[in-house]
Chain A
Amino acid sequence: MEYLELSRWSPYAVGIGIGILSWISFLLSGQPLASSTAFTRTAGFLERLLLGKKAMERPYYQKFVPKIEWGWMLVVGVVIGAFISAQLSGTFRSCWVPGMWEGAFGAATWPRLLTAFGGGVLMGLGARWAGGCTSGHGISGTMQLALSSWIAAVSFFVGGIAGALLIFKAMA
């Protein structure tokens, strides 16, 4: 039990654990671990709520039907699992502005929230544009040796490293 209360595990223990989860996922669910389609389905629910049934005619929502399915439950599970882990280690705390951001841009909440929103828009757009995210392409796709996933994963980090250097070295 004590091991469960540690605030950090070795990255290798965590990585091997995620690798084993991917075996179970392929074997028992017949699919790879992936996160970002759940966001498309949720966007579809919200569009139907705000714009009515007409929004459902979009071809993309016919490809990824807005419904509660395996991948949607997976993302809900991630919130719960992280909450349990943070509670067990006593590291759960409500925080509006992360430390690195505060160090570079100050403790004000609104600038961080607006930036997080803007970054989220690019991320949601880019994830669906590339057909996957750090889980679906970065971990699950690269382990299947898919060409699409290796190109996407390298591009995630090329874009991410360039962006972070620009934000924290040039602008901060």
Chain B
Amino acid sequence: MFTKLHQNGKMQLLLGLGLGVAFGFLLQKGGVTDYDVIVRQLLLVDFTVVKIMLSAVVTGMLGIHLMRSLGWIRLSPKPGSLGSSMLGGLIFGAGFAILGYCPGTVAGAIGSGAMDALAGGLPGILAGAAAFAVLYPGLNRTILAWKDFGPVTLPELLRVNPWAVVLPVAGLIVLLLYWLESAAAP
């Protein structure tokens, strides 16, 4: 659906901007453009970040799988490997703890007036991305290829209908959120 719109470059620039404005607005209203909120999540004393992420995943997952079943959209799962997804993820995590923002929330933090995000985090992320571009040819032949599994999804891995994974995962996430709320109540 909407393939003509997908190929319309100028409209896509506008759509990207519009979706970004809405995304940034929501991130700021959720409080996750704030260093303290992110660090308190990583210290496991405030679960705002996890609550936002998991409710976005449940909502998004049900909608996009429905649209995929109806033939409206095509999904684009990313390829990965243990060397890429796990090692890269751990390096990212270390940066997450030290910086206290992530690439999306650093942009939101800049919009909220966080000067450490603008003058420290942003140039840092750009330098890190440039460093990766320099290291990429060597890494690509070695570590990134370690235990490569490609763009596989959990339903493909289990050889089941996607809904056989979507519904239980949605149920588990809702249970986890319910448990988080009741564990926090006095």
Contact = CB atoms under 8 A, between A and B. Distances in A.
Given A77-B20, A151-B82, A120 B104 contact: no
Interface string B129-171: 1111110110110001000010111110100001001100100
A134 B105 contact: yes
A124 B154 contact: no
A132 to B, nearest CB: 6
Contacts, number: 545
Contacts of B176: none
Interface residues of B, number: 126
B57 A151 contact: no
A160 B13 contact: no
Interface in A155-171: 155-169
Residue of B40, B64, B96 with highest tally of chain A CB at under 10 A: B96
Interface residues of A, number: 128
B36 A29 contact: no
A95 interface: yes
Contacts of B155: 145
Contact of A119 (B57, B72, B95): B95
A79 B30 CA distance: 15
B29 to A, nearest CB: 4
Given A19-B58, A29-B19, A115-B120, A11 B48 contact: yes
Given A123-B128, A148-B77, A17 B26 contact: yes
B124 A121 contact: yes
B78 A149 contact: yes
Contacts of B116: 95-98, 101, 112-113, 116
Nearest to A45: B126
A15 to B, nearest CB: 3
Interface in A90-143: 91-101, 112-143
Residue of A21, A59, A92, A169 with highest tally of chain B CB at under 10 A: A21
A159 B43 contact: no
A30 B39 CA distance: 33
A28 interface: yes
B111 A20 contact: no
Given A139-B57, A163-B96, A129 B113 contact: no
Interface string B77-112: 111111011111111111111111011111111111
Given A19-B57, A81-B108, A131-B84, A14 B2 contact: no
Contact of A127 (B26, B33, B40, B88): B88
A98 B103 contact: no
Given A16-B56, A43-B126, A122-B91, A83 B111 contact: yes
A101 B34 CA distance: 12
Interface of A: 6, 8-9, 11-12, 14-33, 35-36, 38-40, 42-44, 46-47, 58-61, 68-86, 89, 91-101, 112-169
| List of 5 A-B pairs having minimum Cβ-Cβ separation, nearest first | A159-B93, A120-B124, A77-B20, A124-B128, A148-B80
